[in-house]
Amino acid sequence: MTEMNPEINININDIEYLLDMRIYTVFWRGIRVGTIEKVKKTKYTPEELIGKWECGYTANDFHDTQELAAIKCVRKYLKYHPDRIDGPKNDDLLEAEKYKSFIEHLKRLRVGDYGSELNVVKEDFKKWCIGNNIRDEKFQNKVIEDYMFFILGFNSWPLTQENQSYNQYIRNVGLNFLKHLILIGVSIRTFRQHSDNLSAIAHDILEKMKSEEVDASTFKETFLHDIKKSSENPPDYNYIDKEGHDKRYRSTCKKLISFIESE
């Protein structure tokens, strides 16, 4: 790995933040570089960490101010992306704007407003739940939230002309898989775990293939192949318990493969 020059100057004026819940997404020169979060007081929080800023999700990397945590976030990003030291490349800015749009979708999602088109999708899914005897309102609301989150994730990812049809295929299979999980009676915790992993699987596959065109007649075989490849090397999101995360990720891959092959 190429090491970043530790003396590189990070201008705080090049940094902007996007707040969602308690998480601040950090953008540097328009590039989305990571997240920071102010540590809140809970019964599990060490006293000395309250009020500190953590750089990265469960990263155990704490700083005294928001600015210092953001600068560290940028440095971490540039360590792994040294070709961005001089600024954004390729689709960096487009992806950043898509992400900002996605966060706005999430904010509306939390109050149950998905926009006119997606509100129809939401109501159709709710009717599907009722029609399949999923009548517990609490469970219904939670699976609807995850179902819509999966759709919003797809809507936020940058697409090329070449992979739009394959993206749509993966989206449709994914939504059918989520319905399948509900019908076989998984718990909301298990459903949420598989839903999160499903989004990560789809994003990992589409991110790697970018502008590669896939023939429609091979969508199923290609998707099965791509899932198996992703299972062999799960994406690394800097989890502390990477071994546990990878095990759960592979479990979703295995169930998804079984579901597709049975169709």
Model confidence over 170-182: pLDDT tens digits?
Answer: 999 999 999 999 9
> How confident is the model over 109-116, as a mean pLDDT?
76
Which two structure tokens, joined as six digits, stand for 28? 């540097």
**pLDDT at 69 (0 to 100):** 94
**pLDDT at 137 (0 to 100):** 87
Nearest-angstrom CA–CA distance, 31 and 244: 30
* Inter-residue contact 129 to 62 (CB < 8 Å): no
> How confident is the model over 216-242, as a mean pLDDT?
85
State the average pLDDT for the chain: 86
Collect all residues with Cβ–Cβ distance below 8 Å to 33 and sequence separation of at least 6.
26, 27, 73, 74, 76, 77, 78
Long-range contacts of the stretch 208-217 (C-beta < 8 A, 24+): 209/163, 209/166, 210/160, 210/163, 211/160, 211/162, 211/163, 212/162, 212/163, 213/162, 213/163, 214/162, 214/163, 214/165, 214/166, 216/165, 216/169
Residue 125 has pLDDT above 70, yes or no: yes
> How confident is the model over 91-105, as a mean pLDDT?
87
Instruction: State the pTM of this model.
Output: 0.61
Residue 109 has pLDDT above 80, yes or no: no
Sorting pLDDT into bands at 50, 70 and 90, what band is 1? very low
Sorting pLDDT into bands at 50, 70 and 90, what band is 4? very low
**pLDDT at 241 (0 to 100):** 67
**Which percentage of the chain shows pLDDT scores above 70?**
90
List beta partners, residue 35. Answer: 25
Model confidence over 199-216: pLDDT tens digits?
Answer: 989 988 887 776 567 888
